[in-house]
Amino acid sequence: MSIWEYANPVKFLKLSDKVLPFFAGFSIIGLAIGLFWGFFFTPDDYRQGSTVKIIYLHVPAALMAINAWFMMLVASVIWLIRRHHVSALAAKAAAPIGVTMTMVALITGALWGQPMWGTWWAWDPRLTSFLILFLFYLGYVALWSAIDNPDTAADLTSMLCIVGSVFAILSRYAVNFWNQGLHQGASLSLDKEKNVADVFYQPLLFSIFGFVFLFLTLVLIGTRTEIRLRRTEALRLRKDRE
């Protein structure tokens, strides 16, 4: 019994069928608690007023935008090494979700930045590197859709994901070098004693929990769709041959 057993599409479909309702449920519960608590039962910040509440969308979306790319990288490496189709398809399914998360983070950030910084957009390192991440996602998605042969597409996009990761990290440091920041430091980190004030912190954790499961749910649904698409394609080809 090992995890690789679920690289078999049939087993993967069975397992994901079972866990999907739970993941979706966790996601709804987490988002419901986090957002309701955050929006209606936390006080306004003494300087930012009620705009502080956008944190419950902005921070989790930004977190998932980066983690989605990381997941794609892991899935790509697994595909290149072990040739499990489920892995390649999971990377394919994660990309549009990552694009959406990046856009949510950028848009909520702009909405918050207008009243707080007095500008929708600034060429701040964090903002810029997110925009760059968005471009990397677009290139990746475009390459997937440009190639007909599914195995070639999976190989090439995996290579792009690996090389792109190196350059994405390099770009992150490059823009740090390039301009001083306006954006506050990380809202959450493991090595700091005090992050955001407790009143905002606790609902934020629920919201992040909800976003993580939202991402997992969407990736699973996307991967299942891709597997079935691949299967119908194979059936169609077989029928053509007969």
Partner 1 sequence: MMALLQRDLILAIRAGGGFGLGMAFFLIVVVLVPLGIGPDMVILAKVSVGILWVGALLACVLSLDRIFSLDYDDGTLELLLTSPIPCEAVVAVKAFSHWTTTGLPLVIISPILGLFLGLQAGDLKWLFVSLFLGTPALSAIGAFGAALTVGIRRGGLLLSLIVLPLYIPTLVFGSIVASTGVADLSNNSALLILSAITLVAFSILPFASAVVLRINLR
By the criterion CB under 8 A, which residues form the site for partner 1? 132, 135-136, 138-139, 142-143, 146-147, 152, 155-156, 159-160, 162-164, 167-168, 170-171, 173-175, 177-178
Q: How far is the CB of 113 from partner 1 (least distance, A)?
A: 22
Q: How far is the CB of 128 from partner 1 (least distance, A)?
A: 9
Q: How far is the CB of 53 from partner 1 (least distance, A)?
A: 33
**C-beta closer to partner 1: residue 4 or 178:** 178
**C-beta closer to partner 1: residue 68 or 214:** 68
Q: How far is the CB of 110 from partner 1 (least distance, A)?
A: 21
**C-beta closer to partner 1: residue 102 or 207:** 102
**C-beta closer to partner 1: residue 41 or 177:** 177
**C-beta closer to partner 1: residue 19 or 142:** 142
Q: How far is the CB of 64 from partner 1 (least distance, A)?
A: 20
For residue 120, what is the DSSP state? S
